[in-house]
Structure 1
Amino acid sequence: MKLSSSKGAKTLALFTLVAVVAACGLPRSGPNKREIFAGSVLNGGDAFVVTVNPRVTRATSVMPAYGFSDAFRNAGKVGPDTIVPGDVLTLTIFENVKDDPLLGNTGQRVSQLAELQVDGQGYIFVPYAGKIKAAGQSPDGLRQIITKKLDTQTPDPQITVNRLAGDGQTVSLAGAVGGQGVYPIERSTRTLSTMIAKAGGIAIEPAVAIVRVTRGNQTGKVWLQDLFENPALDIALRGGDQIVVERDQRAFTALGATGAQSLVPFESQTLSAIEAIAQVGGLSTQLADPTGVFVLRNEPAAVANAVLGRKDLKGDQRMVYVLDLTAPTGMFEARDFLVRDGDTLYVTEAPFTQWSKTISAITGTAGAANSLANVGSSSGS
């Protein structure tokens, strides 16, 4: 009878100790499933807790759309021979006279005017022909203009015009390219993709490369992969364009029972929940609860209304999307659900984890107490 009472007392003491230790608040990586659901609007909280299904996935599949405006896309290619301010020209003039040529010395029938730069207003100065508007002309068109002006002063002048790219017909490339610098627009580099190739290509992973083009007060940007896959995005360049190749700056935060807890950059244009989990090393096999995978975000009102089947929500809404990887279609839902910039991916700990921590704390405390008792006994003897 006494033995039975002793065992009952020990059992009661054990459960009491478990309760006390649990109440003290054992270390953990964050809230559990029950606490997250307690924050639901249905329970008086301020977040909508939604289980992910195909309808929710479709409503939330909103990704940033990059592209160029009509002003960029409708601009035709610059003619390789079109003269613009900043270009440098060389004129060679053949005069049909033996003595006393108009431009050269006596007996010199060929004269060359080298490195004539077209000024900001588009003009050049040619001796005996005066100030001539060169911008907008082709070399052949300018040749005809100069010939007409000199024809009355020297018999049957023969003129050639050679154009070299100058400051007005160049673009700048910066960022993650093979060779940053200023490049002339030439016959082989009149489009965005060919100019990037001229600069040595890109120096980062193509999947996360974004190309930004600034022209005057307008800016457009595209994914590098889209640029090569869609010819309509390969815009014609203009002198003065600024081209920057940069890495995608989007990222999500991984917390809880995952392989890594950190701010994680995107590694592709689109990122599913299952890919995000894999990117941080998967779920912790020692801690994670696969029924408690959450994605937290502030959702625009339009998307939130679509997800919840409502029309009355205004402004951004706090949304908690729930993924149960153990459900029959759980892995498929995680594969199809897209993670977005600024999302928080949180994985709860399994209930058994807290029990294990409690037992470890109890056994550790009991062991420490026994050690102290043994030390006390040794000192007393």
Structure 2
Amino acid sequence: MSRALSTRRACLRLLALGGSALLAGCAALPEAGPSTGAVINSGAAAKTPAGDAGYNFMTLTEDTARALNQASGDGAAAAALSAFAALPSALPLGRIGIGDLLHVTLWEPNPAGTTLLSPPGLDVSLRVDPSGMVELPYVGALAVAGRTPLSVERTIMAVLAGQGHNIQAAVLDAQAVSGTVIVQGEANRPGAYPLTAGAQSLLDLIALAGGSRLADYDTIVRVSRGGARAQAPLSCITGNSALDIPIAPGDAVLLLPRRLEFYAFGAVNHPGLFPYDSANISLVEALADIYGLQDNLAAPRGVFIYRRQAGAAQSVYQLDLSQAEGFFIADLFVVRPGDVIYVSDAPVADVSKVLQTISGISGVAGIPRNFGAPY
């Protein structure tokens, strides 16, 4: 045996011993997050009384993906309905309000014909003051805010009943300032809009204001009334007629940009923060946005979606892309704004890290790709 061959074998023995030591210390290798087993085991522990993982765990199938999508949609609509229902009650349309300009006419009929009270008659315009009152000649101070013009007419005629022969009154809300609604924000034509019998719903008002400059899914509609406010995505309102609530005089509607994102971490080709720029984004679309999984590091069965929902338990969903139907399930599952997509490392990735370390020390080149070496 030549001296060169003996030296080479000795070096290989040292390399093997070093590799064994490094493999024994795999737990100390750098990782992007928990392993597949750690996430699954913690999810299983959370189902037991002693578990403290703090989240629900579910493996995704076609049936569970459909059920989760339906539950998420119903929850958003229910939350929006609850928020709008909590708004204080408001005066219905057709009531006199503070700031309105009333046009009042009085006249007295007689057997010989219609004669005005005093030529050329009483015909006045009165602005409703902040206390909801007007000062009408022959009548005095009169509370009118919150009342209909017909109700005010009857009160005037009752007060004047003893001062003439069948005195009549006509009240017109000529300038119903209180019957307008303010639209602001991302509307194409923001401003004050009068409410009419044919345009009283939230979507009617948004249409009068030219709609939103942003896409429906990218717009939040906030309604303010009497010091309280409620909001919902415009796409949620247009998709559910029960959310197209009646608008009341004095309401303010603000259209806001809805800045939404989802996140990706772990063994993916493009980790980071991504805009949620569609009404719905499937997991297949989200995976395409992040350029898929790193084929030399990722565990195909270790695709997890972390989700936190208001008023509900935090959850983790597992997708197994090692199964043939995995991408069909991913196409059914809808990623929600705020979701975190995490892909764990495959066990062989630890071997890759060890081999890379050995390679850096020993100068060994050419690590086989099927051992997980990133080239």
What TM-score, normalized by structure 1, do the two folds share?
A: 0.68
Q: Deviations over 1:71-123 (max 9, x none)?
A: 589x89944x4323432223356789xxxx866xxxx6266423x22245643
Q: Secondary structure at the match of 1:225?
A: helix
The offset of 1:327, in angstroms, is 0.4
- Does the Cα contact within 8 Å between 2:235 and 2:279 map onto a contact in 1? no
Correspondence for 2:283? 273
Range with greater deviation from structure 2 (38-47 or 352-361): 38-47
Structure 1 position 243 matched with structure 2 position 253: yes
- Does the Cα contact within 8 Å between 1:170 and 1:240 map onto a contact in 2? yes
Correspondence for 2:343? 347
- The residue identity in structure 2 corresponding to 1:51 is T
Q: Which of 54, 60, 79 is 1:52 aligned to?
A: 60
Correspondence for 2:101? 88
Range with greater deviation from structure 2 (55-64 or 287-296): 55-64
* Whole-angstrom CA distance in 2 between matches of 1:8 and 1:50: 51
Correspondence for 2:210? 200
Structure 1 position 65 matched with structure 2 position 76: yes
* Whole-angstrom CA distance in 2 between matches of 1:217 and 1:188: 27
What does 1:302-341 align with in structure 2 at a 5 Å threshold? 316=313, 320-340=316-336
Structure 1 position 283 matched with structure 2 position 293: yes
Q: Which runs of 5+ in 2 are unaligned?
A: 110-115, 365-375
The offset of 1:191, in angstroms, is 1.8
- Does the Cα contact within 8 Å between 1:274 and 1:331 map onto a contact in 2? yes
Q: Which of 170, 188, 211 is 2:180 aligned to?
A: 170
- The residue identity in structure 2 corresponding to 1:82 is R
The offset of 1:325, in angstroms, is 1.4
Q: Which runs of 5+ in 1 are unaligned?
A: 304-315, 369-381
* Whole-angstrom CA distance in 1 between matches of 2:188 and 2:296: 45
Q: Deviations over 1:129-173 (max 9, x none)?
A: 333443455446645655676687678988664424445333343
**Structure 1 residues 233, 51: CA separation in 2 closer, same or farther (over 3 Å shift)?**
closer
Percentage of matched positions with identical amino acids:
31
Correspondence for 1:379? none
Q: Secondary structure at the match of 2:324?
A: coil
Root-mean-square deviation (CA, aligned residues, Å) is: 4.6
The offset of 1:208, in angstroms, is 3.4
**Structure 1 residues 16, 172: CA separation in 2 closer, same or farther (over 3 Å shift)?**
farther
The offset of 1:346, in angstroms, is 0.6
Correspondence for 1:12? 13
Q: Deviations over 1:230-275 (max 9, x none)?
A: 4343222212323333344665432112244334454455554334
Correspondence for 1:255? 265
- The residue identity in structure 1 corresponding to 2:35 is N
* Whole-angstrom CA distance in 2 between matches of 1:299 and 1:190: 33
- The residue identity in structure 2 corresponding to 1:87 is D
* Whole-angstrom CA distance in 1 between matches of 2:45 and 2:147: 72
The offset of 1:206, in angstroms, is 0.7
Q: Which of 200, 205, 219 is 1:209 aligned to?
A: 219
* Whole-angstrom CA distance in 2 between matches of 1:149 and 1:55: 72
* Whole-angstrom CA distance in 2 between matches of 1:26 and 1:210: 45
Correspondence for 1:30? 33
Correspondence for 1:377? none
Q: Which of 305, 321, 331 is 1:295 aligned to?
A: 305
**Structure 1 residues 164, 290: CA separation in 2 closer, same or farther (over 3 Å shift)?**
farther
Q: Secondary structure at the match of 2:250?
A: coil
* Whole-angstrom CA distance in 1 between matches of 2:40 and 2:244: 49
**Structure 1 residues 252, 238: CA separation in 2 closer, same or farther (over 3 Å shift)?**
same
**Structure 1 residues 76, 229: CA separation in 2 closer, same or farther (over 3 Å shift)?**
farther
- The residue identity in structure 2 corresponding to 1:288 is A
Q: Secondary structure at the match of 2:330?
A: helix
